Structure 1
Amino acid sequence: MCRRRPGSVRKHEDVPEAKFSAPGVIRAVGLVRFADRKLLLVRAGYQDAFYLPGGKIDPGETEVQALHREIREELGVGLVGADFYRRYETDAVGQGEGVQVSLSCYSGELDGEPEPAAEIAELAWMTREEYLARPVTAPAIVALYADLDPS
């Protein structure tokens, strides 16, 4: 489903978590589901940009716990497994000037057919070209596409 980078970590317990506590940095997790050159993306009703299913990490949660919770909330299905893929640190879209995101990306399988739930208004499978044609894009997702589909 998702190509792995050489030397990437397979077990989430071996992954060093981001140590950001400074204001202006949002710690978040996202699910990477990539098939047939398309990435599963969602858009919240209050956002213009599509981004990975996932979200902010609550105090006391690990990245993997937050990912499982967010997937259940946003897609209405469970997550089977969670393998660390990569972390992206970029500007956070729609969060104000100077706000950064530290986005930890994981791959995993869903235990059912995802559907928009909670604050999610839309769910879409997009190619890199389709995403880049959108009026608003998230820098972290643009970087992820470059890694997943460099052609």
Structure 2
Amino acid sequence: MIRTAALAHVRDRRLIQTRPEGKEVFYMAGGKIDPGETPLEALHREIEEELGVGLAGVAELGIFEAEAYGHATNTGLHMTCFLADLTGEPHATGEIAEFRYFTVAEYAAMDHVAPGSMMVFKHLATLGLVDW
């Protein structure tokens, strides 16, 4: 089981997703929780590393479990997801090649989609926070 913390940041009714260097798929911004770290601590660290910004107004959205995309079959993903605002303009740093904001349909139309991200997209759409 891979345990991660993820950011559900919505702008103009679209959800931010990041694409790591050398990969084709866009994932939730965030990453693995280090030993001894809480999901919230991991979220703050990962967003600073990936997008070069801090977070404000952080609230837990929920826990999402799915198959971990790009890992061995039957590898589970346990993702603690948080809603939050950014403290500045994001920019791709380090291991992140790019980031984009998607509607549900735009993300679903990609050649490769991460099941965990798709779960969050659908949940946010049912809450009326992102466009289909």
State the TM-score, normalized to the length of structure 2.
0.91
- How many equivalent residue pairs? 127
Which structure 2 residue ranges, 5 or more long, are not aligned? 127-131
Q: 1:83 aligns with which of 43, 51, 59?
A: 59
| Cα distance, 1:72 vs structure 2 | 0.3
Higher strand share: 2
- Structure 1 runs (4+) deviating above 3 angstroms are none
Return the offset for 1:82.
2.1
Tell me which structure has the larger Cα radius of gyration. 1
SS across alignment from 1:149: helix
Task: Name the counterpart of 1:136.
Answer: 112
* Unmatched segments (≥5 aa) in structure 1: 1-24
Pairing partner for 1:32 from 8, 16, 28: 8
**Cα distance between partner residues in 2 of 1:70 and 1:76:** 9
Instruction: Measure how far apart 1:46 and its partner are.
Output: 3.1
Match of 2:20 in 1: 44
Per-residue deviation at 1:102?
0.3
Q: State how far apart, in whole Å, the 2-side matches of 1:48 and 1:27 are.
A: 22
CA distance in 1, matches of 2:4, 2:23: 16
Q: Percent identity?
A: 40
- Letter of the structure 2 residue corresponding to residue 141 of structure 1: S
**Structure 2: how far apart are the matches of 1:90 and 1:112?**
31
Aligned residue in 1 for 2:123: 147
What is the alpha-carbon distance in structure 2 between the residues aligned to residue 35 and residue 76 of structure 1? Answer: 17
TM-score of the two chains, using structure 1 as the length reference: 0.80
Contact 1:29 1:63 in 2 (8 A): yes
**Residue 85 of structure 2: SS of its match in structure 1?**
strand
Partner of 1:67: 43
